Structure 1
Amino acid sequence: MRRPGRGEQAVRNNEAILVAAREVFLADPRAPVAAVAERAKVGIGALYRRYPSKEDLLRTLCHDGLKTFIAEAERAALEPDEWAAFAGFLRGVVQADVHSLTVHLAGTFTPTEQMNTDAELAGELAGGLLERARPRLRPDIGAADVTLLLEMCAAVRVPDVTRTGELRDRCLTVLLDGLRTGGALPGPPPAVYELNWRWLDT
C-alpha cells in the first residue's frame, strides 16, 4: 500500500484543520486555536505553519464560505427558469451552511481587499438572480430581505446534522412561499447598516 507523500499529507492536514475550525468556532468564536489543533488531530506547529494567527484562520473560513456563495450563484444563473434559478440558489446556500459562519465570525477579523471584492461580486450575482425572479416576488422584496432570510435558516440547528438539513429545508420552503405571496410587507426593508453592523468594529 502506497503511503501518502508530504504534499498529500499537507493537503489532508489542511482539510482537517478547516473542518475542525468550522466546528470549533461555530460552537464558540472565542475558542483558542489550540482547540482546533486538538479537534483536527494535528500539532499546533503544523497549524501555525499554515495559519500564523487565529485571525488568518477565521479569515480563510469566511472567505471559503464567500467563494461557495459565489459558486452557487454562478451555478444557478445557468438555470433558464427564473424562479427555479432563484430558489435553487437559496437552497444551495442554505445546504452549504454559508451564513452560519458569517453570523458567528463577523467582526472577529479584518477582511482582505480580495474578500471585499468577492463580496461585491457575490452581491451582484445574488442581485441578478433576485431581479430575474422579480415578476414572481412580492413587490417590495429586496436583497437585504433575502440576506436576513438566509440568516434565519442558518439559525436552525439541532445536534443531528441530517435533521438540521431537513429542518432548514422546511423553513426555506415556507419562506419561499412567503416571498411569492402578494401584498406589501410591514415596515421598511432592512437598511445596509442593519445588515453590516457586525463588521463595523473590525
Structure 2
Amino acid sequence: MTDESGRGLSGRRGHAKRNDEVILAAARDVFVHDPGAPIAAVAGRAGVGISALYRRYTGKDDLLRQLCLSGLRRFIREAEAAEAEPDGWAALTGFLERVVDADVHSLTARLAGTFTPTPELLEAVARADELAERLVRRAREGGGLRADVVADDLALILEGCAAIRAADAHRTIQLRRRHLALLIRGLSDREGAPLPGPAPRPGELSRWPAQP
C-alpha cells in the first residue's frame, strides 16, 4: 500500500519514504531491546549516517515518539477493523491475535515513560483505550467474555505476550500464540472460579500521563 511503504512513490519522495521505513525498523529493533541505547546505534543498525537521521528527527525523543505513535496507530487500526466483526467474542479474540502477531505492545511497554508525549500521542492513547473498552463490552454483552474481565486486563495480556522472546522471530511468534491461546481460554465465559482480584483500576496500568 502506498501509505505504508515507498512503493507507488517515485524519485526523492519514494527514496525518503524508504529511508524512513529503514530508520524506524532499525529504531524499533534497537529500542525494544535497550530503551537507553544512543541514537547513534539506530543509525548504525539502519546503515545510514547520523546526519541522515537528524534530518528526519530532531533527536531521540522525537524518534521514540514516532515509534510509539506508529504502534498506537496499528493498535487503533486493528481495533477499528474488529468492530466490523458482528460477533463480539470473535472480534475481541481476533483483535488480540493480530495485535500480538504485530508485536505492537513491545513498543509501548518498553518506551512509554522514556520521553515526553505530545498531545497527538495522548489523543491516540485515549482513542486506543476507548476502542479497547468497546471491544470488551461487546464481548461481555454477547455472552462470550466472563463478566469479571475489564478492559485494563487486556494490557496485562498484551504485556505478558510481548515479554516472550525466543532465539528467533518465528519461534517467538509460535510461543506468543500458544500463550495467548491459553489466556483466551481464561477469558471465556465458562463456569469456573472467579478471577482473583481486585481488577485493575482505570488508569492503574497506564504508562502515559493523564490528559488535562
Relative to the length of structure 1, the TM-score reads: 0.93
Residue 179 (1) aligns with residue 187 (2): yes
Unmatched 5+ residue regions in structure 2? 1-9
Aligned partner of 2:145 in structure 1 is 137
Whole-Å Cα distance in 2 between the matches of residues 59 and 159 of structure 1? 28
Question: 1:136 is paired with a residue of what secondary structure?
Answer: coil
Unmatched 5+ residue regions in structure 1? none
Residue 50 (1) aligns with residue 60 (2): no
Relative to the length of structure 2, the TM-score reads: 0.88
Superposition deviation, residue 107 in structure 1: 0.7
Aligned partner of 1:95 in structure 2 is 101
Q: Among 58, 69, 73, which residue is 1:63 paired with?
A: 69
Whole-Å Cα distance in 1 between the matches of residues 72 and 208 of structure 2? 15
Residue 126 (1) aligns with residue 151 (2): no
Whole-Å Cα distance in 1 between the matches of residues 163 and 199 of structure 2? 20
Q: What letter corresponds to residue 204 of structure 2 in structure 1?
A: E
Counterpart contact for 2:162–2:176, Cα < 8 Å: yes
CA-to-aligned-CA distance 1:26-60 (integer Å, 9 cap, x gap): 11100000000011011110100111110000000
Residue 162 (1) aligns with residue 151 (2): no
Superposition deviation, residue 193 in structure 1: 4.9
Whole-Å Cα distance in 1 between the matches of residues 164 and 44 of structure 2? 27
Superposition deviation, residue 121 in structure 1: 1.2
Counterpart contact for 2:122–2:208, Cα < 8 Å: no
The CA RMSD over aligned residues, in Å, is 1.3
Q: Percent identical across equivalent pairs?
A: 57
